[in-house]
Structures are given as structure tokens and as C-alpha cells.
Structure 1
Amino acid sequence: MTMPVFLRRVAAGAKFSAFAVLAAFAASPSTAAPRGAAAAGWPHEKPMAWIVGFPPGGTADTLTRRAAVLLSRKTGQPVVVENRAGASGAVAVQAAASAAADGYTMVTMAGPGIDAQGTPALGNGLQPVAMLAKGPMVLVGPMANAPPADLQALLAEARRNPKAWSYATSGTGTPQHLAGELLNRLAGTSILHVPYKGGAQAIGGVVGGQVPLAMLGVMPLLPYIASGKVKAYAVTSASRLRATLPDVPTMQEAGLADYDISQWNLVAVAEKVPSARVAQLNRWINEIMTSREMKEALRVTGCVPLEGSPAFVSSFVRAEDEKWRAFARAVGIAN
């Protein structure tokens, strides 16, 4: 497979981690820009907390950490990323919904997804601030023991011997779970879902051979694909990732004509945070996500920044929820 230069550099290193990829594609002279002046009127009594609902090393965590660095530069105050893993992100959103309504505590939310009943959501304990980015997932398997040659060969094996096949994700009801069940629906397979606590743990499971497949975000998997530890069968988006995985087909190209799903991340705060602070956070995050250095960092992962107002976030999430909840009910993973 043709490998871009930055991935060859990562593959040649001693460690293969999401943070290694982040350093490889995000490092540039512009990332060392001087700290910006604090915006007038924004209080500085304490550091900002940015909560992530999964362990370190997954897509949401890696993206949040990059954005937090840039937000700290822009505001001139510390932004501390806190990993509160559990219940497919529900622990984190509960913590954010219960936080003081002062705008100092944010949470990264992932979608599309199926939240457990009673979990705080936009309009129910939380309010939207801004979008972060949208990007594809990728289906991978370990390179050991002569893996199937391509997606169609894999699906043929899964139909022939369904009990031998399962796929790991970062949790139940996550975008990766929906992507895996969309594969089952369109391919006529019954590959078993195996939820992990986070993307990094799921990667460990597939690299170590505990599960034969994983459906995860592209960002944390890049170094493992580059090093030959896992085989990439197909990406979930309608277009290939020309910058990083040019030889990996889309699900559509691999024979599943109607397959198209991407994951996205947004930022939310407690529902009673004053609108003026939400508006300020929205402006800062939109500026960060559309900055040259963030766009370049995202480009190599196939992700694109999503800019918009809190109202846009609400509208976007509402449409996604309606679409994917209907699908989840149809395949029996939601009521």
C-alpha cells in the first residue's frame, strides 16, 4: 500500500499511538504561536475543564486535546482535559450536566449514537456550544494468521462461519456500533458486536488478536495501519482518504452501494450556562477549528471541521438523531 511520508516516519518510530500520529501531522512552526491575549470580560478565576467520555488515545480524546491546546493559547488560561470513561460516554455527559453553570466545564460528545435512557443530552441538562469535526471510521483486522484479502472475502467468511467473527468498538450505542450494524444490515452478516471502554482499548483487542475485527475512527488507527499491525478493509465515508489511506476502498467501492456513515464530535456545556458565555465559547472554538493549523491536522485523518452556531449544532444533531435512531430501531439495538 502506498504510504504517505508522515506515516512512514510514524511507522519507523518506536511507539505507535494516537499521540504519535498527532505529533506527526499537527507539528508545524505555526503550532508554536505565542499565547493570545485573554478576551475582555471572560473571567479567569480557575482553569477550564474539558471532559472526554473515553480513555486517552481514541478519536474524541485526541481531537479534544489538540483543540484544548489551541483554546488555551487563545484565552491565555489553562484548559485541562479530563478523561471520565464509562457507559459509552454517559459518565462524562452526566458530569458536565452537573457542573457549575459558569462555562468553565465543557464536554466533548460523539455522534451519531444511541444514548441510554435518562442520559443527559442536548436540551436535557446540556446545551450545544459548537461542532468540532466530522470524519470517517475504518474497518480493520489483525495482520496475523493470513487475513482475508479484501472486504468481500471477509464478508464471505463471516457468512460461512458467523460464530467466528466479531468486531470491537469504543462502546455500545457509539458511532462505531452503528457503523458495524450498518455493515451487517447491508452485507447480510451477523458479526457480533464487542464493546470496549474506549477506542484505545478496542485497538489493543484487535492488535492482540482478542477480536478479529474493529470498527473505529481513523485517527488513532493510522500508526497501526502504517506499521502493518492491522489490515484496513474499507473506510465508512463515501470518499477515500487520499491523504493517508489512498489504497483503502470505501465500503461503497468494496460492494456495499448504500453504505455511508461518518462520526462527529461537538462541544456542550450545562444547560444553564449564560448565553453570553456560550456565545464566546462558540466563537473561540469556531476560530480554532477553522484555523490553518487545525485544518491541516484534520486533513490527514480525513476529518473536516464543522463551523456553526449553537442553533446549527442543535439542528444538525436533531437530524442525525432522527435518522440513526430509526435505523437502530430497525436493526434491534434501540427501542
Structure 2
Amino acid sequence: MRSKKLFLSWAVVSLYVLLGFQAIAQTGANNFPNRPVTLVVPFTSGSGSDTIARIVGPKLSEKWKQAVVVDNRAGASGNLGTDKVAKAVPDGYTLLMAIDTMTMTPAIYKSLPYDPINDLAPISRLAVATYVMAINNDVPAKDLNSLFAYIKSKPGQLNYGTPGSGTPHHLNMEYLKTLRGLDLLHVPYKGLAGAQTDLIGGQVQMMFATFNSLLPLAKSGKIKMLAVTGAKRSELMPDVPTFTEQGLPEMENLFPWYAVLSPSNTPKDIQAKIHKDFSDVMLMDEVKKQLSDSGIFVRLSTSDQLRDIIKTDLDRWKKLVQQANIPLN
């Protein structure tokens, strides 16, 4: 009788242990995701991170057999959306579709509601692109030299638009101003869409932006592109020369990168699954073509490589802001 009770006791204990392991498995990577996943884009529609999210979202949804929701949380140069993810439950269901802006805002804002190193876990760089200098059609310039001459003939009277202070559009333009001694006013908007609209309308005369974000406007003849970063011209707009061709090799290696991050305490196995699944989707021929047709090119990384990229860029932009005497917000 006693041995029968012991057997039953061990059976109950074993059952609890088994159920415990099953519960752990169900909450881990093996069962991820079991509900909708949100991709937070910290900028408006039409931005590079938004383009990537809307291309990969449906593919991830097919792979995961769960809804993938794109949530545009624009504002404060990407800080609103980034903060939302930094403070989200660290379970992998809220992800940040980041751009290199996240390494610039710490240099331009006196304080941030999150720490880009300690509050976010880097998962993978996804892609890179190039930047372009674009002007309103009424600006009397055909290349960079004629644009610079026009700016210098009207010191302090011309302006450039950006999606906000501390964005790549802002800091890269300030860098260009320093290189060529230009006197231009900065007009920050709450997102890319407003800046694009006013570039077309002439309320702002020029913009330094990602190639992919301005490509449709240039192709339709609504704006003019004068120069592109990178070592060679874009096949999508082969008539637009590089900065280097026009005497500015310092601008050649400036390019935006796009990445996916999660809240910092997201379990490592879930981070690894997100990395693998994003990588699988990004390497699909269909996805690569859709992105390259927009001027975005797949460049994956490990989580450690992305962490190094972020740290390096944080230091670089902090130094540039100090050297250029860019005022803090």
C-alpha cells in the first residue's frame, strides 16, 4: 500500500514537472509568435523603415501564421516610436523598425526618455541605402557648384527641410554646410511627408534625404536631384552624379542603415528566432527586388555587429555635433 502511494506521489510530481516544461516551451521561441506582432515605425509612411516594414510584414505574417501590424509612431525625430518599443513588454511582440536616426538623436537632444544602448536589444541590420541632395524645381541650379553659388548669393535667406531635428537629413546637411561654409536656415517638420510637400511647393528650397524617399518625386518631375552619396551613381537615376564626382568625397560614405530591435530584456531565444525569420524573409528574391527597385539594398548583420554599428555611430555623431556647434534641443 505504501509503495502504491509513493508511486502515485512520484507520478503527480512528474506530471507537474512535465506541465511546467510544456508551459516554458509554450512561452519560448518554439511557440513564438502565437498572437499578432507589431512593427513600430518611428516615422511617417513613405520613409525607408516604413517601406521595409510594409514589404516584409506580409511575408512574416505568412511565415508566422499571425497578423503583423505596422504602427507608424512618428514624432520627435523618431523618439516617440523608439520610446514606445523601449518601454514595451520584452516578449518579442513589439519590435522597432529603426533607422540610423537612433544614433543621432542622443547627440542633439539634451535628454531622451530611453537609453539607446541599455533599453533596446539589437537583433539585425536589415538594409542600407544612399542619400541624395534634392531641390525645388524653381531653384536655379543644375549641379552642386551652381547650388552653392546660389546659396552664397543669398546668405541666410534660403532654407532646407527635414523630418525633424537630430535626423540624418538634419545632421548630414549641417555637415555639408560646414564643409562648404553655407548659410542656410533649418526648417524641421514633424515627419517626412510635410517636408516633401513643402519641397515640391517651394516653401523649402532643398532637402538632404534618403534616395528611396525622394525617388518617386524625382521620377515624376516634381523635384530635381543634384547629387547622390556612394561610390557610384544609382542605376535608378543614372543621370544624377555622385557627391565625389562634384568635388565632395567627404560625403561618399554617408549612407542610412535600417535595422530591427526589441526591448532589451527580450529572451535570447526569441531574439534569435526573430533574427532568423527576418533574415529568411529579407533574402527572398521577391523582397530583395522590391527593395532594390526602391533604392534599398539588403545588408544583414548579427546582433553583435549591429551593436557595434550603433556604438560607433553614437560616438561619431556626438563628435560631429560638437565640432559643428549644432544647438541642442
Of residues 318-327 and 203-212 in structure 1, the stretch that sits farther from structure 2 once superposed is: 318-327
With structure 2 as the length reference, what TM-score do the two structures score?
0.85
Unaligned 5+ segments in structure 1 are 1-38
Structure 2 residue 181 is the aligned partner of structure 1 residue 192? no
Give yes or no for contact 1:141–1:147 (8 Å, CA) kept in 2. no
1:308 equivalenced with 2:297 (yes/no): no
**Separation in 1, partners of 2:31, 2:300:** 22
Structure 1 counterpart of 2:36, from 47, 51, 54: 47
Alignment equivalent of 2:132, drawn from 127, 131, 138: 138
Map residues 126-205 of structure 1 onto 2, 5 A cutoff.
126-143=120-137, 145=138, 147-205=140-198
- Partners of 2:129 and 2:212 within 8 A in 1: no
Q: How does 1:113-132 map to 2 (within 5 A)?
A: 113-115=104-106, 116=109, 117-132=111-126
- The structure with the largest helix share of the pair is 2
SS at match of 1:56: coil
Q: Does 1:208 align with 2:197?
A: no
- Matches of 2:140 and 2:277, distance apart in 1: 45
Identity %: 33
Kept in 2: contact 1:186–1:259 (CA 8 A): no
Output the CA distance in 2 between the equivalents of 1:319 and 1:286.
23
CA distance in 2, matches of 1:104, 1:158: 48
Structure 2: state its 5+ residue gaps.
1-27
Instruction: Give the 3-state SS of the residue equivalent to 1:265 in structure 2.
Output: strand
Q: Structure 1 pair 108/42, CA: closer, same or farther in 2 (3 Å)?
A: same
Residue 245 of structure 2 is matched in structure 1 by 253
Does structure 1 conserve the Cα–Cα contact (< 8 Å) formed by 2:131 and 2:209?
yes
TM-score in terms of structure 1 length: 0.83
In structure 2, what is the Cα distance between the partners aligned to 1:185 and 1:40? 49
RMSD between aligned residues: 1.8
| C-alpha distance after superposition, 1:168-194 (max 9, x if no partner) | 111111111122112112122122221
Q: Distance in 2 between matches of 1:168 and 1:88?
A: 13
Which structure 2 residues correspond to residues 57-68 of structure 1 after superposition, within 5 A?
Answer: 57-68=46-57
Contact 2:243 2:251 in 1 (8 A): yes
Q: Higher mean Cα deviation, 90-99 or 39-48?
A: 39-48
Deviations 1:142-175 (A, max 9, x none): 21x3531211101011112122221111111111
Tell me which residue corresponds to 2:92: 103
Count of matched residue positions in the alignment of Structure 1 and Structure 2: 295
Amino acid aligned to 2:55? R
User: CA–CA distance in 1 between the matches of 2:260 and 2:127?
Assistant: 10
| Number of the residue aligned with 2:8 | none
Q: 1:224: how far off?
A: 1.0
